Structure 1
């Protein structure tokens, strides 16, 4: 199995602020070492889970502690009610019949 380095962040946001949050959430620059990113919204638009794939834990940590990420979090803060984050390692599963 090819190993992936993944950062997962789930945020609950204030009701009715999804559009504003989306504008604040997108980084202004492409982080070094990121391979891809995905976003998933709950049906009520109040919970957003972001999943980003990284070259390494070090690349992810460098972005998480950067000035650019700090500014991005400051812009998001007025919309965020709760936030959970985790760093994971893993890979794709082979599904039966696949």
Structure 2
């Protein structure tokens, strides 16, 4: 199975700011090497986990240290209370058919 490169961020945001946060959260322009991105949020709308899949660790690292990402974080900052992130390598697990 093909190895995947994944960056996961989890942010706790200020109550009632999910809509504004989502507008700030979208990168512009989209980074080179980004294949797919997903966002998952808690029922109360105060915790968002982003999962992005990359062509390589180098592409992800280039984005993480770019001016575009620095600007995006600056725009998100008024809404963010806490942030955690990690970079992972992995692969799809085969789920048996029932």
Alignment TM-score, normalising by the size of structure 1: 0.97
CA RMSD of aligned residues (A): 0.9
- Distance apart, 1:30 and its partner CA: 1.4
What pairs up with 1:66-81 in 2 under 5 angstroms?
66-81=66-81
Whether 2:68 is the aligned partner of 1:35: answer no
Q: Which residue of the partner structure matches residue 92 of structure 1? A: 92
Structure 1 residues 61-83: Cα deviation after superposition (integer angstroms, max 9, x where no partner): 00000001000000000100000
- Distance apart, 1:51 and its partner CA: 0.4
Q: Which residue of the partner structure matches residue 60 of structure 2? A: 60
Structure 1 residues 20-70: Cα deviation after superposition (integer angstroms, max 9, x where no partner): 101100111110011110100111000000000001100000000000100
Give 5+ residue unaligned stretches, structure 1: none
- Moved runs in structure 1, 4+ residues, more than 3 A? none
Alignment TM-score, normalising by the size of structure 2: 0.97
Give 5+ residue unaligned stretches, structure 2: none
Q: Which residue of the partner structure matches residue 20 of structure 1? A: 20
